[in-house]
């Protein structure tokens, strides 16, 4: 069954437009609640959110939906996505919900669902919930309507969890760290966790107002962090996104370290410590060929999946890997978490920094990435990738790159975009191939 509302990371869209309306949120609560109401125990759902203005509306609508089918609701307020996953498990909840559009601007929002094990729902389960959206909900009797309550210590619980992933024998004393929380969900927990571990913390993006999430800050806009790290003479910078499930690092020179370099560092570090499982890491088709070659030089493998951290995690679980992620900074460390966790990944990097005694620039630039170019082409209608001219342009590009690089063309799972990516040893050739395919897509769209 094809999915109408669920994309690669839950349901997402512009607020007050289908599917991101209060009515839809209520229906999702009823459909997901009905799917997970099993057995005779009191059923519970944990709901967290980021700092978007629309979070209040979506939260209220979801609460209405869940309670109407007999589920109790626990509200945890603004917390990172991985905190919701962790709390869902620790509170023995039947379901977890994160209201967030991740790195998107404030006028978007989204709904991410987690099962009782803290993992994102499978495609099959999401398809079943979509099917239920078409059905009339089976409402609870007046006596069985769910209750809603808020817990005040959710952030403290998550801080304690995040710190527990940092080696006990290490501290961050003497490290000056600039952390950019994107005016998002981690605006309190990330600076607090770093400070409690001993760091001298300089903060950016910790004054959310409902509108400024990801606005010129965070992992998708790191220029402010780059400048501040150099200005402060800091040892390292950490940039999270709106829901803090991804991280980008900036070294002391102000240079960006992406998820590929971070996965390489953590993979090698864990291999040296004898705790890396599977003799390799899992990444998506978007990760740089340089990462694959670097790992091969260390007798480690790179297993590729389609784009989406959920697919990385599915492969990790089925094939026994414990390190994986995406170039964008979604890093999944399954020994610690059931989803991407920007703060936990950053703490692993900081542990290596402290343990090695090296500077960030020495430690984190492990390989030279091959020239890689990604461009997005917006389309309004149809299926551009199914047209003959686009197919011909793609085939021509693949032929030109054969043996010298690779080409990845895909439709975005969250926006009406065709993503065209090429990489190879010849930067000029890469650019030409991407340009030709983009022009073909534009003509077809």
Asked if residue 95 lies in contact with residue 114, where contact means CB atoms within 8 angstroms, the answer is yes
Q: Are 423 and 372 in contact (CB under 8 A)?
A: yes
In terms of DSSP bridges, do strands 405-411 and 372-378 run parallel, antiparallel, or are they unpaired?
A: unpaired
CB 352 within 8 A of CB 269: yes
Q: Is 423 helix (H, G, I), strand (E, B) or coil?
A: strand
C-beta separation of 217 from 103 below 8 A: no
The DSSP bridge pattern shows strands 108-114 and 95-99 to be antiparallel
- In this structure, the number of other CB atoms found within 10 A of the CB of residue 108 comes to 23
Q: Which helix (H) or strand (E) holds 161?
A: helix 154-164
Whether residue 9 contacts residue 48, with contact meaning beta carbons closer than 8 Å, is answered with: no
DSSP 4-27: SSEETTEEEEETTSTTSSHHHHHH
Listing from the earlier edge strand, what are the strands of the sheet with 247-251?
200-204, 176-180, 236-240, 247-251, 256-257
> Any bridge partners for residue 419, and if so which?
376, 410
> Within a 10 A sphere around the Cβ of 76, how many other Cβ atoms?
24
Closest of 369, 374, 348, 106 to residue 249, by C-alpha: 348
Q: How far apart are CA 286 and CA 65, in angstroms?
A: 37
Q: Which of 102, 192, 219, 221 is catalytic?
A: 102
Query: How many angstroms from the chain centroid is the CA of residue 45?
Result: 21
- Evaluate whether 129 touches 137 at the Cβ level (below 8 Å): no
Distance, CA of 177 to CA of 231 (rounded, Å): 12
User: Is 164 tagged catalytic?
Assistant: no
The residue whose two tokens read 């289908």 is: 18
DSSP 175-213: -EEEEE-TTSTTTTHHHHHHHHTT-EEEEES----SS-T
The residues that are catalytic are 102
């Amino acid at each position: 069954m094809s999915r109408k509302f669920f994309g690669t990371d839950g349901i997402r869209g512009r607020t007050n437009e289908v599917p991101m309306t209060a009515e839809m949120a209520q229906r999702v609560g009823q459909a997901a609640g009905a799917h997970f109401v099993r057995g005779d125990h009191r059923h519970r759902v944990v709901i967290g959110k980021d700092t978007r203005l629309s979070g209040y509306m979506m939260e209220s609508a979801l609460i209405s939906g869940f309670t109407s089918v007999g589920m109790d609701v626990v509200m945890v307020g603004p917390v990172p996505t991985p905190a919701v996953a962790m709390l869902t498990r620790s509170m023995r909840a039947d379901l977890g919900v994160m209201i967030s559009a991740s790195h998107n601007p404030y006028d978007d929002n989204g709904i991410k669902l987690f099962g009782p094990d803290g993992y994102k729902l499978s495609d099959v389960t999401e398809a079943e919930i979509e099917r239920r959206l078409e059905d009339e909900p089976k409402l609870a009797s007046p006596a069985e309507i769910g209750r809603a309550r808020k817990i005040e210590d959710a952030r403290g619980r998550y801080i304690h969890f995040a710190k527990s992933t940092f080696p006990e024998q290490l501290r961050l004393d003497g490290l000056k760290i600039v952390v950019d929380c994107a005016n998002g969900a981690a605006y309190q927990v990330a600076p607090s966790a770093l400070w409690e571990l001993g760091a001298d913390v300089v903060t950016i993006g910790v004054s959310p107002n409902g509108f400024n999430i990801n606005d010129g800050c965070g992992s998708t806009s790191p220029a402010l962090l780059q400048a501040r790290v150099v200005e402060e003479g800091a040892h390292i910078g950490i940039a999270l996104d709106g829901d803090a499930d991804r991280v980008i690092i900036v070294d002391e020179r102000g240079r960006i370290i992406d998820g590929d370099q971070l996965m390489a560092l953590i993979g090698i570090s864990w291999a040296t410590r004898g705790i890396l499982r599977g003799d390799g890491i899992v990444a998506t088709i978007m990760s740089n060929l340089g990462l694959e070659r670097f790992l091969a030089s260390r007798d480690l493998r790179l297993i590729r999946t389609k784009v989406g951290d959920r697919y990385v995690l599915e492969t990790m679980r089925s094939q026994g890997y414990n390190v994986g992620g995406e170039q964008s900074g979604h890093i999944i460390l399954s020994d610690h978490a059931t989803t991407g966790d920007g703060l936990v990944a950053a703490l692993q990097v900081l542990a290596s920094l402290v343990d090695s005694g090296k500077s960030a620039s020495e430690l984190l630039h492990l390989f030279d990435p091959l020239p890689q170019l990604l461009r997005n082409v917006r389309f309004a209608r149809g299926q551009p990738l199914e047209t003959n001219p686009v197919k011909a342009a793609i085939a021509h590009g693949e032929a030109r790159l054969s043996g010298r690089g690779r080409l990845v063309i895909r439709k975005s799972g969250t926006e009406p975009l065709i993503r065209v990516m090429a990489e190879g040893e010849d930067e000029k050739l890469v650019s030409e191939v991407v340009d030709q395919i983009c022009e073909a897509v534009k003509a077809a769209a």
